[in-house]
A = this chain, B = another copy of it.
């Protein structure tokens, strides 16, 4: 992709109206742009990161479930049926000009439970699960945390359906492993955290990432690594459910995933039942499994940076390589630099290597500063000096040392 065509320019300063580190970094570097508090444009650099995150999520979820897609416009009646039309304070409500009322989906239990009725009749139809990756809406009173708390945001939500608790427990463990895989692949250390469980189970589980900007206070057992959310934590004498010890460390964390056993809370209102082996009607047990993909992008930005800007983990970086040309006084040299850069750019792309090419007529200082802000894992510079040795100057974003690499070695190096 050409840096001149990404409909974003880096800014000299972080935006004055953003308090959160993730929004300050992502906006200054041109990944996102604020439309309203809690509502962002994802510019070409930003959507590439989000797609990479969502593709990892899709990949891991597809191994244990099947994808579907449910609407944002949801019938008021379904929300009345579960009591959440009144009870959920962040619910956006829409009045159509044609007499209908809709909820603008913050979650999809009210859609998936009635949807499943058509497919679930007998115990033979269970267990089954579905997931989606999708935009959600919450009428948040405050939205000052950038991508960590949006009024419009993206989530993966999965719903599972079971005959009994033992079956659900088994699936729950499968989901925990899939979540661990996801966070591992994007380059983060997730902390499985017990949180309040609601009516139908003792705990729910959150996947927390330690970060100062996180809205949750959690207590990590320093002996076995299990954690508890403050909301269910007594005091430091409390025993860990994992190892029985009482050696807690308090820290701030951001919840990036939350998994729940819902019991029959949503199957009952929609009469989602199945016939058991004796031909008797039973309520279906449900589980739900959320993972905020835009929030995850925000958390990565909060963690993966230095004083000069972002440092994307390879798996979610918008590009693998940032290729920069430097100015030269002589017209012939300028043309040589351009043509060599374009040739290399084409050759790398032919091998499926993702490259952002910056041929803008700016000083080395401006271009290096922009490259640091944007935070692509590798930077390669082509200049009069490097061309004299048929080379590029290669540098890792996270390191200071540079090395000369032959122009003809680059494809081989990055194709690995």
Contacts and interface: CB of A to CB of B under 8 A. Distances in A.
Nearest to A121: B9
A50 B111 CA distance: 20
A140 to B, nearest CB: 8
Please give the count of copies of this chain that the complex contains: 2
A98 B141 contact: yes
B92 A125 contact: no
A166 to B, nearest CB: 19
Contacts of A137: 72-73
Nearest to A154: B69
Given A66-B6, A98-B141, A141-B98, A115 B71 contact: no
A173 B132 CA distance: 36
B94 A68 contact: no
Interface stretch (A36-44, A208-216, A255-263, A383-391): A36-44
A205 interface: no
Contacts of A36: 71, 73, 75, 100, 102
B66 A5 contact: yes
Contact of A125 (B4, B42, B102, B151): B4
Contacts of A9: 118-119
Interface string A43-65: 11011101000000000000000
A239 to B, nearest CB: 40
A331 interface: no
A149 to B, nearest CB: 14
A405 interface: no
Interface string A92-116: 1010111010101000000100011
A145 interface: no
A204 interface: no
A42 B69 contact: yes
A128 B118 CA distance: 47
A98 B139 CA distance: 8
Interface of A: 1, 4-9, 33, 35-36, 39-44, 46-48, 50, 66-75, 89, 92, 94, 96-98, 100, 102, 104, 111, 115-116, 118-119, 124-125, 128, 130, 132, 135, 137, 139-141, 151-152
18 contacts: A4-B128, A5-B128, A7-B68, A7-B128, A8-B119, A9-B119, A33-B118, A35-B115, A36-B73, A36-B75, A44-B68, A46-B68, A47-B69, A48-B67, A72-B72, A72-B152, A92-B94, A94-B94
